Amino acid sequence: MSNAKPTVNSHFQGHELHDTSPTPGGEPEAPASTTESALPTSKEARDQYALGNWYIEPVQRQYSLAINAYKRALEFDPDCAAVYHSLGFAYYKEGEFDLAQEALQKAIELNPQNANYHYVLGQLLEDWTELDGAWEKASQEFTHAIELDSSYIEAWYNRGLLYEKLGDLEKACEDFKQVVIRAPAFHAAHHNLGVLYMKRQQWKDAEQVFEEILEVEPREPDAHYHLAEIYLNLYGDVDRAIHCLQYAIERDPEHLDARFELGLLYAKNRYTRPECRQQSIDQFIELIKRDDELQTFEPLGQVFFVLGSLYDDRPEDADLAIYAYKTGLEHAPSPQAQNNLGLLYLQKNMIDKAAEEFKQVIQRYPDYESPYHNLAKLYFYERDEEILKDLQAWLEAEPQTAARIIFHLTLSLMDVARAEAYQSLYSQLHRMKNLVSATGGQLRSVSRQAEPESKLHTTLNQILTQHEECYNEMVELLQQLRMEEPVFGLIDINRILDTLLRTLMPVLEAKDIECQQIFDTRLPPVKGDSSQLKEAFNNLIINAVDAMADGGFLQIKTAYLSESSQIRISFIDTGVGIPYEVRDQLYQPGYTLKQHGSGFGLNIVQRTVRDHRGRTELHSEEGHGTTFSIYLPVDLEATPIQTNLQMRPIFYESPHELGFEELV
C-alpha cells in the first residue's frame, strides 16, 4: 500500500540513566557514620539519638517514631548537627520535604564543613520536583560537597545526573569523567558516560567507553546493545550492529529492547535482503511471547504496528496485518495504524468497515491528511450518496472541529476529482497522439514520393518538422499527466539531494549561484520512490535557478521534526519572488510564469509529495525570494524513539553507596 505506516520510534536515541539503587530514583538509606566528637554530648541525647537511628533501620522504617526520638535528643542537645541531619533524613522519608529541608539546613548552619550534609540536602532537593528550581539548587549543594571533599564520588555522580536532566550534557560528561578517574571500577559511571557521548553524537568516544566496559565485562548485554547503534552511526555497519544485538539477546534473552531493535533493523533491510522480513517477524513474535510473562515492555502497541506493516507488504497476509493493527490499537492509539486498517478493509472490499475506520481517524486526528484522501476516494467511487449525511453527522457530533474536517475533506474530494479528470484527459490525448503518429507516417510516405528539391517536397518537409514538434510536445504532456505508481523503499533524502546537487553544480556555477547545503545528520530514512522524489527536487531547484537570472544564493536544508515524525526539505532562494495574486494558480497544470515553461513542474511536485503522504508549503515575497518546503512522514521502521519510557535500566540513576550517617 502507498499510504502511511504507523509511526514507531526506535529506542536508539532515547537513552536513560541506569538505576542500580534498590528502588527507582535512588531511595536514600539510613544515615552513615559520624565522628565521635560530632555525636550528642549528653547521655540522654545520645540515647534518644541511638533510639531514633534504630527506628529508621531498614527492618524497622518507623520514621514517625524516629522523628519523635530525634526531637527529644534535641531537647537535651539543641546544637547537635548530627541529630538535625538524621531528623532531616527521617522527615525526608516521611515525605515532609519542608521540614526535612529546614532540619538539614540547620545541620549545615551548625557544621558547614560537613560535605555529607550538603550531599543529603542535594538529594532531597533533587527529589523535590514540586519546588521551583529544585534541580538547580540540588546541583549547588552537590557542588558544595565536592568543594569540601573532591573525592566525594557520589556527589560527582549525582551532580552529573542532574546536569543530564537539566540538559547540560557537556557538564554531565565532565562529572562522569571525574567519577571514572577516581573510581575506575565504577561500572555505572562508565556506562553513563558512554550514553552521554551517544546523546552528543560523539560516536568515537562512546565506542571507546563501551569497548572499555567489555574489556572488564565481555558479556555485558547493554554494552553490546549500545555498540549496535554506535556501529550504525559511526560506520553504517548493519551486519556488525545485527551481530551486537544478536549477542545481547543471546546473553540476555529477556533484553526486550535489543530484540525490538533487532526486529526493526531486519525490517528496514527487508527490501534489499528479502530474508530479513521473516527474521523481523520472528523477533517481534518472540518479544510478544516473552512480554506475556514479563509484562515490562510498555510500548507493546508499537510492536504490533510494525508487525502489521510487515504483513501489510503482502496481500496474502492481509488478515494477519488486520489482526496486528487491531491488537496494537488496543494497546496504544495510532492514526497511521488505524488508517492502514481502513485500507486493508478496503482491499478486502469491506467498504463499511473501511469507511468507519477512516471516519474515526478523522474525528480523533482532524489534522492528519491520509484518511481524508482515502475517504474522499471511497466517497467518489463507492459512496457519493453518503457524503451529505456524514457531513451533517460531523456538524452535530464535532461542532468545534467540523469546519476543519469539512475543509480538509473538500480539498481531498477536489484532488480525487482532479485526478479523475487527468486520467480522462490522458486517455483522450493518448488517442490523439496515436492519430497524429499515423498522420505523420502518411506525410512521410507522400514526402518520399515527391520530387526532390521540388516546392511540394520542401513544403511537406516543413509540415513534417512542425508535425514532429507537435507530436513530441504531446508525448511530453502525456508523460507529465501520467505518473507511474511509486515504487517504495527506504531511502536517504540527504543522499538523494547530495547526488542531485553534484549533477546540477555546473548549472549553478554557470548562473553564478552560490549553493549551501545544511543537512540534518539525524535524518532517518523515509519510505518513498527515489526517482520520483529526485525529479520533484530537480524541478524545485531549476525553478529557483530560473528565478535568479543575475545570480544569487540557494540554500537547501533538511530537518527531522521529531514531534510530528516528519522530515522537512526546504529550498530557499534569493530570486525575484512570486506575485501574491498568482500563488493559488501555481499548481494548476499548464500554468507558468516562465516564457518557455511547460506549466507542469510544480504540479508534478505536488502530486509526488501527496503520493508520499506529504504536504508542501510556500512562502514568497516579491523581490525578496522564495522558500518552498516539503514535509514527508517518517515510516514506522525508520522513526527514532522519542519517549521517556524505560523498558529496562539503560542509564544508572544512583550509586549503591549513599552518603547518610550510619547507625550508632
Number of domain units in the chain: 1
| 546: its cell numbers | 530560473
- Please, which pLDDT band fits residue 33 given cuts at 50, 70 and 90? very low
What's the CA gap between 541 and 500, in Å, rounded? 10
What's the CA gap between 229 and 643, in Å, rounded? 17
pLDDT at 639 over 70: no
Tell if the pTM clears 0.75, that is, is over it. no
- Please, which pLDDT band fits residue 233 given cuts at 50, 70 and 90? confident
**How far is the CA of 90 from the CAs of 41, 42, 85, 135, in angstroms?**
21, 22, 9, 21
Q: Is 609 inside a domain boundary?
A: yes
In contact, 463 and 456? CB cutoff 8 Å: no
Q: Is 361 inside a domain boundary?
A: no
pLDDT computed for residue 26 by the predictor: 41
Strands 9-10 and 639-640: parallel
Q: Is 524 inside a domain boundary?
A: yes
Edge-to-edge, what's the strand order for the sheet holding 513-518? 513-518, 552-561, 566-573, 625-633, 615-621
- Please, which pLDDT band fits residue 482 given cuts at 50, 70 and 90? low
Residue with cell 506549466: 599
∠ Cα 317 320 322 (to 5°): 110
Q: Is 4 inside a domain boundary?
A: no
pLDDT computed for residue 635 by the predictor: 65
Q: Is 371 inside a domain boundary?
A: no
328-385 pLDDT per residue, tens: 999 999 888 998 899 899 889 999 899 899 989 988 888 887 888 888 888 877 766 6
546-596 pLDDT per residue, tens: 888 889 999 999 998 876 778 999 999 998 887 776 656 556 654 455 545
What's the CA gap between 79 and 89, in Å, rounded? 17
Burial of 94 (0-12, 13-18, 19+ CB in 10 A): middle
Residue with cell 546493545: 225
pLDDT at 98 over 80: yes
148-176 pLDDT per residue, tens: 999 999 999 999 999 999 999 999 999 99
pLDDT at 32 over 60: no
- Provide the angle, in degrees to the nearest 10, between the axes of the packed helices 335-347 and 300-312: 30
| 92: its cell numbers | 525526608
Q: Is 521 inside a domain boundary?
A: yes
- Please, which pLDDT band fits residue 289 given cuts at 50, 70 and 90? very high
Q: Is 623 inside a domain boundary?
A: yes
pLDDT computed for residue 390 by the predictor: 73
Q: Which residue has the higher pLDDT, 398 or 206?
A: 206
Total residues belonging to the chain: 664
pLDDT computed for residue 457 by the predictor: 76
Q: Is 549 inside a domain boundary?
A: yes
Dump the DSSP string for 562-603: TTTTEEEEEEEE-S----GGGGGGTTSTT--SSSS--S-HHH
pLDDT computed for residue 373 by the predictor: 82
Q: Which domain holds residue 560?
A: 489-640
Contacts of 512 (CB under 8 A, 6+ apart): 550, 551, 552
275-279, 497-501, 525-529: range with lowest mean pLDDT: 525-529
What's the CA gap between 337 and 359, in Å, rounded? 14
In contact, 342 and 382? CB cutoff 8 Å: no
What's the CA gap between 253 and 240, in Å, rounded? 19
505-544 pLDDT per residue, tens: 988 898 899 999 999 988 888 888 888 899 889 988 988 8
Burial of 267 (0-12, 13-18, 19+ CB in 10 A): buried
- Please, which pLDDT band fits residue 620 given cuts at 50, 70 and 90? confident
Kind and range of the H or E run holding 290: helix 275-294
CATH number where 567 lies? 3.30.565.10
- Please, which pLDDT band fits residue 15 given cuts at 50, 70 and 90? very low
